[in-house]
């Protein structure tokens, strides 16, 4: 799994720790149990036990067979397919875990080929009669191993076809998340999910619980690594020693012994390479903490903010209850102050750095590639051309940071104009970073999204799209509705609100994907008393603002973890 995951994803996987919560009222408890069920495998998927072979008893003259496609409660890696002339369907059947199969009949003389493109889920057969099927269960262990083998073979074949080097410990191929490359990422996700499930299966429930209890130790090492910039004191080429790193840091508390303990622990997570004699060097993962400053900012924000907030979650509950107030979140409790995270970010730091700048870079870092790549907004299937060719030409990027998403969309859709809104200090950074060739189409305006939008007088009949990426999830319903209210007061029938966020899946769906979502949900709670939402929660949020606001349509982007939810007025002309 570490070979297949990119180095950036290995690092960011560290920043979403799961914490025990002992005291929670039911509303919070539901969120906690959903996240815990993903990690502990408390929920059982609906569907029959998978089979690895089919024994057919033939007693007639007709020809029958099964053909299956993805479906049911779980997706099947690969699928059965049948090339059959005149094949009337006799009815549905099941032939693998959660997958739907269909029984076909065709003339005995027909030229029929049935293929199974996924090893371990069944045997090819062509019967001269209605088959009597006996399921032989090879067990979950072999099914998972087979799934891993199949997905790995598919990835190998993809890399060979595309002329890419196969994933290895020293290199991960650069594969853009495009529609053309979708099969690669489908197999990649399938392999990662099966690998994690296989590890849990082999460990057993008791050892799995114990291993889970140790996960916070990884965050402890990372806090020290980020706090003292240990990665920046290791040369990108060559080696150094624990003593040399401690000397370069120049803090009395950072001794060679401490450096050694921390880096040797980090190396067990494939972060740095350590050798006997106190020698250390970078590997492909740890080098990103030097070569990718945006990703480094994401890691720093989590090490200095999210981890301490997670440790304070129970104390915050005992102090404030399950509060919607941003200044009563675990973050404030962790620093001993009744203050909201974003308010604190505007204060100067003792080391001279500015939190708001680090946060802006962090948002760019987490969105640079992988499941949260902002390029998915461009290539993921949202119909920006409707705005470009229709009446809506202006996109207002609410809380848009330095404008990196607007820049990406503007490069592809030249008929759109953009206005990026954020706090003054962030807007100043955005104006400096905006490409010269886009400055005539991307403008920057200081604005607090907790205040109402000024009605547009510069667009006349032109439609406006208010774009909110990763904004509402930072806030409880109380404040998310206030943000929407500020947009609604300026929303006309030809306007729309475009929300780009994660949609919480229904319980029982893919645990590998669901865990990322519920990790993020708890991260929002720890930092800001915010939350991730399902589509029902977005609908209720709109109604709480005004009955005139409704969800118009939902776009599940073809790549990545985020979706796009459109909201419009009930009297919309769209």
Residues marked active site are found at 473
Return the closest-CA partner of residue 542 out of 530, 533, 551, 553.
551
Buried b (16+ CB within 10 A) or exposed e, 207-217: ebeeebeeeee
CB-based burial of residue 307 (10 Å sphere; 0-12 exposed, 13-18 middle, 19+ buried)? buried
- What span, in angstroms and rounded, lies between the C-alpha atoms of 143 and 78? 13
What is the DSSP-derived secondary structure letter of residue 76?
P
Q: Say if residues 300 and 226 touch (Cβ distance below 8 Å).
A: yes
3-state secondary structure of 117: coil
- CA atoms of 130 and 58, how far apart (whole Å): 7
Query: For residues 414 and 532, what is the distance between their CA atoms, to the nearest angstrom?
Result: 32
CA distance 568 to 246: 57
Residue with tokens 């999204």: 449
Map tokens 């979706």 to a residue.
563
Q: How far apart are CA 355 and CA 143, in angstroms?
A: 48
Are the C-beta atoms of 290 and 231 separated by less than 8 Å? yes
Q: Residue 263 phi/psi, 5° resolution?
A: -70, -35
Distance CA(314)–CA(311), nearest Å, equals 8
Let me know: does 425 contact 354? Beta carbons within 8 Å.
yes
User: In the block, which residue shows the tokens 């966020």?
Assistant: 501
| Cα–Cα distance measured from residue 127 to residue 204, given in angstroms and rounded to the nearest whole number | 40
Q: Helix 511-528 crosses helix 182-213 at what angle (to 10 degrees)? A: 60
CA pair distance 465, 495, nearest whole angstrom: 6
Rounded (5°) CA angle 364-368-373:
110
- Residues 245/259, Cβ–Cβ less than 8 Å: yes
Q: 368-405 b/e with 16+ CB inside 10 Å = b?
A: bbbbbbbbbbbbbebebeebeeeebbbbbbbbbbbbbb
Residues whose CB is less than 8 angstroms from the CB of residue 425 and which lie 6 or more positions away in sequence, other chains included: 346, 354, 356, 357
Determine phi and psi for 23, rounding to 5 degrees. Answer: -125, 105
Q: How far apart are CA 463 and CA 386, in angstroms?
A: 11
Distances in Å between the Cα of 420 and the Cα atoms of 72, 284, 402, 450 are 43, 35, 8, 15
Q: Pick from 545, 565, 546: which is nearest to 554 by CA?
A: 565
Is 225 strand, coil or helix?
Answer: helix
């Amino acid at each position: 799994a570490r070979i297949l995951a990119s180095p950036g994803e290995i690092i960011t996987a560290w920043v979403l720790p799961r914490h025990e919560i002992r005291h929670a009222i039911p509303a919070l408890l539901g969120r906690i149990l959903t996240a815990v069920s993903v990690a502990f495998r408390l929920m059982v998927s609906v569907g029959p036990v998978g089979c690895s072979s089919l024994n057919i008893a033939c007693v007639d003259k007709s020809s029958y067979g099964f053909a299956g496609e993805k479906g049911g409660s779980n997706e099947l890696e690969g699928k059965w397919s049948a090339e059959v002339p005149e094949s009337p369907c006799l009815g549905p059947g099941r032939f693998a875990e959660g997958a739907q199969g269909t029984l076909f009949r065709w003339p005995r003389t027909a030229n029929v080929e049935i293929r199974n493109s996924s090893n371990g889920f069944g045997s090819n057969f062509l019967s001269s009669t209605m088959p009597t099927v006996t399921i032989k269960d090879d067990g979950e262990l072999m099914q998972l191993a087979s799934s891993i083998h199949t997905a790995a073979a598919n990835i190998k074949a993809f890399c060979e076809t595309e002329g890419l080097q196969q994933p290895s410990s020293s290199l991960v191929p650069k594969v853009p998340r495009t529609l053309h490359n979708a099969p690669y990422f489908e197999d990649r996700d399938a392999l990662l999910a099966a690998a994690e499930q296989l590890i849990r299966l082999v460990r057993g429930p008791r050892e799995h619980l114990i291993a889970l209890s140790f996960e916070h130790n990884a965050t402890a090492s990372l806090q020290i690594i980020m706090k003292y910039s240990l990665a920046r004191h290791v040369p990108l080429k060559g080696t150094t020693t624990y003593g040399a790193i401690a000397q370069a840091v120049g803090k009395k508390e950072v001794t060679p012994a401490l450096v050694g303990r921390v880096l040797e622990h980090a190396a067990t997570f494939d972060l740095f390479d350590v050798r006997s004699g106190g020698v250390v060097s970078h590997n492909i993962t740890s080098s990103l903490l030097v070569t990718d400053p945006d990703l480094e900012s994401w890691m720093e924000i989590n090490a200095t903010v999210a981890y301490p907030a997670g440790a304070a979650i129970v104390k915050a509950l005992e102090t404030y209850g399950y509060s919607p107030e941003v200044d009563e979140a675990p973050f404030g409790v962790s620093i001993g102050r009744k203050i909201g995270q974003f308010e604190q970010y505007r204060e100067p730091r003792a080391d001279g750095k500015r939190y708001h700048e680090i946060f802006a870079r962090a948002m760019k870092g987490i969105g640079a590639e992988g499941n949260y790549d902002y390029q998915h907004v461009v290539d993921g299937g949202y119909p920006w051309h409707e705005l470009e060719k229709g009446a809506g030409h202006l996109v207002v990027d609410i809380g848009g940071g330095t404008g990196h998403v607007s820049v990406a969309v503007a490069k592809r859709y030249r008929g759109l104009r953009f206005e990026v809104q954020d706090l003054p200090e962030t807007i100043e950074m955005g104006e400096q970073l905006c490409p010269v060739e886009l400055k005539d189409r991307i403008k920057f305006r200081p604005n607090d999204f907790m205040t109402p939008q000024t009605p547009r007088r510069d667009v006349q009949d032109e439609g406006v799209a208010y774009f909110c990426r990763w904004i509402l999830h930072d806030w409880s319903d109380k404040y998310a509705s206030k943000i929407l209210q500020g947009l609604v007061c300026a929303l006309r029938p030809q306007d729309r609100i475009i929300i780009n966020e994660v949609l919480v899946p229904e319980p029982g769906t893919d645990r590998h994907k669901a865990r990322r979502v519920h990790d993020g949900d708890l991260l929002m709670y720890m930092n800001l008393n915010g939350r991730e939402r399902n589509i029902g929660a977005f609908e209720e949020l709109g109604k709480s603002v005004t009955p005139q606001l409704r969800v118009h349509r939902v776009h599940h982007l073809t790549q990545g973890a985020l979706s796009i939810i459109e909201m419009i007025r009930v009297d919309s002309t769209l």
